[in-house]
Amino acid sequence: MLGDDAELTAALRAAQDGSETAFRTVYRAVHPRLLGYVRTLVGDHDAEDVASEAWLQIARDLERFDGDADRFRGWAARIARNRALDHIRMRGRRPAIGGDETELAGRPAESDTAGEAMEALATDSTLSLIARLPQDQAEAVVLRVVVGLDAKSAAETLGKRPGAVRTAAHRGLKRLAELLSCDPESGGGLDALPPQREPRGRAVTSASVTHTRARTQKDM
pTM of the model: 0.66
- For residue 39, the model assigns a pLDDT of 87
Q: Say how far apart CA 92 and CA 89 lie, in whole Å.
A: 5
CA gyration radius, the chain? 17
Give DSSP secondary structure letters for 133-176. S-HHHHHHHIIIIII---HHHHHHHHTS-HHHHHHHHHHHHHHH
- For residue 4, the model assigns a pLDDT of 75
Question: pLDDT tens across 109-134, in order?
Answer: 333 334 444 444 445 566 777 877 88
- For residue 182, the model assigns a pLDDT of 67
- For residue 53, the model assigns a pLDDT of 96
- For residue 30, the model assigns a pLDDT of 94
Residue ranges of the chain whose pLDDT lies below 50: 1-3, 96-122, 186-203, 212, 214-220
- For residue 209, the model assigns a pLDDT of 56
- For residue 178, the model assigns a pLDDT of 82
